[in-house]
Amino acid sequence: MLAAPLPALSRAPWLALALGFLVGCGGPSDREQIASVVERSLTSTELNEKCESLVSERFVVDVYGDRPECRGVYIRNPGADRIQDARVAATRIDRDKATTRVMYRSQAGVDITGRLALAKVSGTWRIDRLGIDLLRSMVPTFAATNAGPMDVSEARCLLRATRRLSNRALRRVGYAFIGDRIEEGKVPDGVLDCVVESYQASRRR
């Protein structure tokens, strides 16, 4: 004999309990999502993550020009900027915008730290812009990553050249290095000279 269905009122407490459990066990917080996005952006080898799901449209356009060129950079240089570990701290969130401080060691063995901005796109946090302090911290690795190992004099040349740049110019230079677009007209002559010196020195070794 089939049991009679429970009255609606007797089921209500169970429904409320179930809903309460689901709410209490919700997804990761915004800060946890941001930490995950930053870490994956530095360690992932997936082109879809590097050029789409982890970065905003503005970031792709500013750094690479478009998504196909972004993919081309990582196809030509697989794992070029990939690292083993990254930490984030001091995350600040204002609705669909956020900033966080990232710390990691580059493949060139340089400790890098600075802030980056993120934007929430369709409910997902994505890297939107690199902070000037982060770009300045990355300067010693630029030539080492893009033009072979630097010696002390080449590293000093690059540091001197970039220290004289305005924040706007430094962002353009930094994005050109990351986007593999180091060429005449894209970066100031002083910076380009340092990269050429580094490349020529690496060919002589």
77 and 160 in a single domain? The answer is: no
Do residues 173 and 86 share a domain? Answer: no
Q: Is residue 205 part of a domain?
A: yes
CA torsion, ordered 185, 141, 84, 118, to nearest 10 deg? -50
Each residue's pLDDT tens digit, 16-72: 333 333 334 456 899 999 999 999 988 888 899 999 999 999 999 999 999 999 999
Same domain, 43 and 118: yes
User: Which of the listed residues 81, 97, 130 is the one where a domain comes to its end?
Assistant: 130
164 shares a domain with 125: no
Same domain, 205 and 160: yes
171 vs 16, which has greater pLDDT? 171
Specify whether 139 is located in the same domain as 152: yes
Position 100 in a domain: yes
Predicted local confidence at residue 54, as pLDDT: 96
Confidence of residue 12 (pLDDT cuts 50, 70, 90): very low
Q: Is the pLDDT at 133 greater than 80, yes or no?
A: yes
Tens digit of each residue's pLDDT (9 = 90 or more) over 174-205 = 888 888 877 655 566 667 677 666 555 555 55
Counting Cβ atoms within 10 Å, is residue 54 exposed (0-12), middle (13-18) or buried (19+)? buried
Q: How far apart are CA 54 and CA 41, in angstroms?
A: 6
Domain holding 146, by residue range, is: 132-205
Query: Within the chain, what is the greatest distance between any pair of CA atoms?
Result: 91
